[in-house]
Structure 1
Amino acid sequence: MTALVDCTRAELLRLRRWPAVWITVGAWIALALTFGYVFDYVSYATGTESFATEATARDALLAGLLPQGVPDVLVQGMPMFGGALAMVLGALVAGNGFGWGTWKTAFTQGPGRLAAVGGSLTALTTFVVLIVAATLALFTTVATGIALAEGQTITWPTATALAQAAGGGFLVLSMWALLGYTIGIIARGPALAVGLGLVWALVVENLLRGVGSLLGAVEQLTLFLPGTAAGSLVGSITGATGTPGVLDVIGGDRAVLTVAAYVVGLTAVVLLVMRRRDLA
């Protein structure tokens, strides 16, 4: 246990000092803020022909920007670009250990394979928690500022809604990060892992879902894909599917179980592969 804690602290120090990690996290924050608040608020503030004739639509747009809408905004971007960036983060964390010789040093000179890999996975999970927490804090601040600027009454979301959104977002980002981590371990490098992960998340799954409307066997296969589970989990939280990546293909309970199964399964694969891996 002491070795695991030491490895986790060392890995957290490495991630904190690594510019690529902060660039990836910054990209997520920028994209989530832009698509979650900036575009919608600019549309509300400037108005369009549809808004000029449909006051209800304009009011609904503003309602989504206020504090009570934070849980939905928090998770709506996670199945698509949030998941893609989490995969990049996971692939970088795992894959660069081969090019830098980190894994070889840890495995041959100590503290051992289980502690080194466990510490790396724990540090990655910690970063995912911090990303979700930082995003939630930022969105709450922005939504409160919009409410004050527009003279709206501040109504806070319920603790249950916040917990569901934060927990769902953590599961989704953890699954994608572990998928990138697993590909990075198997590919022994970050470049191929990042490329394969992005192609899968942004292209392959969407193509399979499109083909699934024509072929029943493919449609059944898509029910078990990570993107389907992540999108359906977020869809069960927000209750809407208009955002890219947000789906209602499977029920919320099944989506949670599927995402959790991926998290557990991918962790087991990483531990098994690294336990037997020849780093020479």
Structure 2
Amino acid sequence: MLLVVALALGMMGCARICPVASSGPTDGVDSDWQTEHLSDGTIVMRPRHGTGPWPVVVLVGGLGRPSSPESVRTALPPIGGAISIYVPLHYGSESGWPTDLAARQQQNYLGQIFTPFVQSTAAAIAQHVGEVRTRYPQASDRLVLFGFSIGGSAVLAALESLPTPATAAVLLNAPLSAAQARDNYTIKARQPHPSGALPELLPFDSVERTARFAGSHPDLQLMLVQSAGDEPLTVAAATALLEDLRQQRSDDDDRRFEVRQLGQGHNILLDPEGRATAEALELRRWLSAILR
């Protein structure tokens, strides 16, 4: 997430979310899909055949591979019988990503990178979900969100602002709190983060926020996927946070909260040649099972 040499990849669209800008047949992906490109860079893919109801899945990349909606689609192609929304990372009111991203990261990662990306992308996710439900009556109430790295943090933030509740959220190697994001920066950038108060953006940023989140999402299924060797984003840390959420909900149904380990390292969905990895195929199978 923090290797800034990769951050120039995937510059995307206009800063605000606009109505559907163009509609193309399939973008060469598959003749079974109708592909629509929105003016902020979002890609919406819906089944070309059938009448629904179709569950909705939102997929968001990170700052590293995969980052753009196109690269996320390569790693995780659309799932049969569902509407797939590939949402790019958004950065405040600026178009695409700021050109001085590396400098902002070094000055104040939480304030200049993490917070604006998470807040703006979460708002974009919520708005696109509402637009798709309005535009396509075939969309069912079943909604699954997926996010990789900082995109997963944005998914967590979006859960509190969606127009309709999510059925499930699947996060891959995502900072689950501002404290984790700070520690992730410190380890991967090999330099301390400037001192200061931590932002409260995510459900796990405080006990009080976790309690509110638990009370307002009694049926949410949450799957946290962590790769080996991606400190501090570990299985142990994810398990501890889910246990906090479980206690706040007084929920004995462990099936709603799950931590899985997959792969080695941080960027596990695409190989150096930009092809989907075996880990990506496995993750797509998990998403397909949740959508059913």
Same fold (TM over 0.5): no
The structure whose residues are more often helix, as a share, is 1
TM-score of the superposition, structure 1-length normalised?
0.33
Larger radius of gyration, structure 1 or 2? Answer: 1
TM-score of the superposition, structure 2-length normalised?
0.32
Which protein, 1 or 2, shows the higher relative CO under an 8 Å CA cutoff with sep ≥ 6? Answer: 1
The structure whose residues are more often strand, as a share, is 2
